[in-house]
Amino acid sequence: MSTTLPLLPGDAAVCCSPVTGGVLTTDEAERIAHTFKALGDPTRVRLLSLIAASDGGEACICDLTAPVGLSQPTVSHHMKMLVDAGLATREQRGRWAYYRVVTEALEHASRALRA
């Protein structure tokens, strides 16, 4: 049998404080939601991991298809979502696109949950 103590006045502020330590503006909430939406797919999280672990911290789209088992157009779609969310950068070199992780964006997303 579990017993729960009643909340006393002032206790609600402790248990219900915002995740970010303060009230977000609409723009901040939209930006953070966009970031987490992009991270809401395991393939995209894996792609960021593959890029971050690559030599020099960058990877060509041609090197990302086999590890995730998807076609180049599908991987390109996932990478577009990551770039649009500011989590990766894209540089065109001739025929191929090269990607880098934007570490600061991941750190910002992490702080949004910890602060």
Question: Do 35 and 87 meet the contact criterion of CB atoms below 8 Å apart?
Answer: yes
State how far the Cα of 78 lies from the Cα of 72, in Å rounded to an integer.
10
Q: Does 6 map to a domain?
A: no
Q: Does 85 map to a domain?
A: yes
* The pLDDT value given to residue 10: 47
Q: Does 76 map to a domain?
A: yes
Burial (Cβ within 10 Å: 0-12, 13-18, ≥19) of residue 34:
middle
Q: Does 16 map to a domain?
A: no
Identity of the amino acid at 83: V
* The pLDDT value given to residue 19: 54
Q: What is the CATH classification number for the domain harbouring 105?
A: 1.10.10.10
Tokens of 33: 């939601």
Of the candidates 104, 100, 86, which has an alpha carbon nearest to the alpha carbon of residue 48? 100
Q: Does 12 map to a domain?
A: no
* The pLDDT value given to residue 13: 43
* The pLDDT value given to residue 114: 73
* The pLDDT value given to residue 115: 55
Q: Does 47 map to a domain?
A: yes
Q: Does 3 map to a domain?
A: no
User: Total structural domains in the chain?
Assistant: 1
Residue 72 is part of which domain span?
A: 27-114
pLDDT in tens, the chain (115 residues): 544 444 444 444 444 444 556 777 888 888 889 999 999 999 999 999 999 999 999 999 999 999 999 999 999 999 999 999 999 999 999 999 999 999 999 888 888 777 5
Neighbours of 55 (CB within 10 A): 6
- The pTM score is 0.76
* The pLDDT value given to residue 112: 78
State how far the Cα of 98 lies from the Cα of 57, in Å rounded to an integer.
10
State how far the Cα of 89 lies from the Cα of 102, in Å rounded to an integer.
7
